[in-house]
Each structure stands twice: as structure tokens, then as C-alpha cells.
Chain A
């Protein structure tokens, strides 16, 4: 009798797992795919913010819910959502601190948790999952959206690692997602990534980049505009511009702090970036090498003599100064943020 109960118990476990697996990973009928949308949502650094009613939100959870809603609306596309959560390892046991959602034609096709412990490269597992499940049609439009804190250009006090989040490693990751086709648009919903270094390094992999050359409120850039991808008849430029403007207007409504969102045309900005590249990267590397050096971010307009050239070509800037504070009367922004040594401006 005991054996029968054991067998029944294990049978129930086996079939319940199997049933869940089928339910989560059911293969709906494949419709046409016109575009791919990749969400990379970082949630393992402090993302608590308060809205204007004082209600607390976790920015990454809010963005995940928005991404899932967008995915359900994208009937003619594939949506890949990667949510990187806080680590909760116990002793030697590594928990799955990441979750992957794959939507095809608006339906959930795959949902699984995973971790990156076996990987020594930034976003390697995410790129693997994306390449595993995508339809592999190189004629579709491609969009990559990253949400998190600043992707730093300068890493201080630690040895180099291919897994560390910095602009160079992030660029390598983007290359793995891009494959043979440039992204139509990359969106960086982070602070301080509207810099010559970031845009220069990502330019080979995108036609347009949206980033903020300032602090960006934790509530992030809205992406609900992507819900209309199926119905919009816009050029890539029109779509990127409308998206940036919509996100800007929404951020203005819910914040009192500075809002700066810039659309960079990677082809048109290349002339300016290539002109200043050597000097800019020299400053960045110099700061990185000096262990005790601290640095500031400033608007390029504050030090125009540092980098010559037409910095406004190829960019569209949406800017509203902070409603209070030292910069409340700063009426415009160049669209570029540069890194300089603190106190001893070069």
C-alpha cells in the first residue's frame, strides 16, 4: 500500500510539472512577424520611487507590467522581456534571479526563470535566449530598450570584467543581440548616457538612439507608444521622434526634476563624434586611470571650447529644466553631456 501511494504521489508531481510546462510553453499558431522588441529591465539596484501622490513604486516592477501590456498588444511582432531581479542566494545555492517572457503575436509563448551564474559575459544568457527563440527573419524591424541606472563609462576601483555593466561591455552585448542587422532604435532609459562616448560606441548597432544626457527620473521612459506599432505608418525617424516626444511629455507631467530626452541620428552625429572622439576618450581614460580622480557631468554648452564642431547636427532635444534648484533657470541643453575632472576643468 505504501508503494502505491508513493507512485501516485510521484505521478502527480510528474504530470503537474509536465502540465505546467505545456501550459506555459504552448505553441500558438505562428503569425507574421514584422518587428522584434527587446526589453532589458534591470531590477537589482535600488529602484524605489514615489509618484506625485506620494505612493511608492518599484520602477522595475512597474516597467515589467508595462512591457507585458505592450507585448500583448503587439500582434504582428515578437517581444522578448528580460527582468533582472535582486539576487537572493543562500549559502551555495544560487537562486534564479531573472525571468524571461517571450511573446509572439501578442500571446505568451515562453516564460521561464533563469540565472546568470554560469556566464562570465554581460547579458550572455539573455542574448542566448533571444537568439534561441526568435523567428530569425532579418527583414524585421528591431528595437532594444534598456531600463536601469546609468551605464557607466568610467569604472573605478575594480578590475576589468566582461560581466560588469559598463558602456564597453553593454556595447558588446548589444552586438550579440543585433547580429547582422542594426537596430532601428535603441532606447536607454538611464541617467547620464547621452554622452559622446556612449552614442559613439553604440552607433554601429543602431540607426537611432534615445538617451538622456542628465539625470532621468526613476519612473523611466514610457514605452506604451509601442502598443501602436501594428497600426502606425511612420518612417523610423518619425516613430523615434514621436516616441521620444511622448515619453518627454509624460515625464514632464509626473516630475518636478529635470527632464531631458534626446534623439540621436547615428549617421548624422557621426561627423561631430568622430571629430571629438580622440580627445573625449582621452579624458575618460585619464580619469579612469587616476584612482583618486572624481568627475562631474556637465552640459557640453558649459564648456564649448573643449570640443569643437557642430554638436547639434543629428540630434533632437526635448528639455525642461528642473522646477527648483540651482539649474531652474537653465533654459536649454546642448543634448550632450560630457565628463570632466571635478574642480580642475580641462
Chain B
């Protein structure tokens, strides 16, 4: 996913979408690090994985952000994912 986002970020995007992608990448990176016990995080235990999954979804769902990814950028992400995977 991070690779896909990296690829899309290099296409011509609006400032709004660039900031959204950066924010999304940062959040995903933090979740990844915590899940795997990297960068100062304690690794999420097996019996806590479901709770962590709930936390990840709830934390990513927009609660204060007005900045969203445009349809075009979303399409680019899907296309990049299809090409890279």
C-alpha cells in the first residue's frame, strides 16, 4: 500500500490531495510500526489483534478532517495498485 501511495504521490495532484496522501501515509506507517513492534512500539500481541484492527479503522475514519482524496486520485491509487501487484 505504501508503495502504491508513493507512486501516486509522484503524479501531478492538487495540494489538497498531496496533503491527504501524506497524512494517510503517516497514519499507515504508524499502524504498521506498532503492529510489528518497530520504532519504539511494543508489538501488538496476538490476542489483541482484533482490537488493534478496530482501533486502526476507527482512527483512520475521518473524524476531524475535511481534507479528502479526490476521485481522480483515488482512481490513480487503484490503477497503481493493479499495476504493481
Chain A: residues with CB nearer than 8 A to chain B?
45-46, 48-50, 52, 54, 149-150, 191-192, 215-218, 255-257, 322-326
Contact = CB atoms under 8 A, between A and B. Distances in A.
B61 A215 contact: no
Interface in B42-75: 44, 51-52, 54-59, 61-66, 68
B68 to A, nearest CB: 6
12 contacts: A49-B58, A191-B63, A192-B64, A215-B63, A216-B63, A256-B54, A256-B59, A257-B59, A322-B59, A323-B51, A324-B56, A325-B59
B38 interface: no
- Chain B contact-residue range equals 10 to 19
Contacts, number: 53
Nearest to B55: A256
Nearest to B15: A157
Contacts of B9: none
B13 interface: no
A325 B55 contact: yes
B55 A323 contact: yes
B interface secondary structure, majority: helix
A303 to B, nearest CB: 20
Given A256-B59, A324-B52, 10 more contacts: A48-B61, A50-B57, A149-B64, A149-B65, A217-B58, A218-B62, A256-B54, A257-B58, A322-B55, A324-B34
Q: What DSSP secondary structure best describes chain A's contact surface?
A: loop
Interface of B: 30, 34, 44, 51-52, 54-59, 61-66, 68
A325 B30 contact: yes
B54 A149 contact: no
A192 B59 CA distance: 15
Contacts of A49: 58, 61
A325 B58 contact: no
A256 B51 contact: yes
Nearest to B64: A191
Contacts of B63: 149, 191, 215-218
Contact of A256 (B34, B58, B65): B58
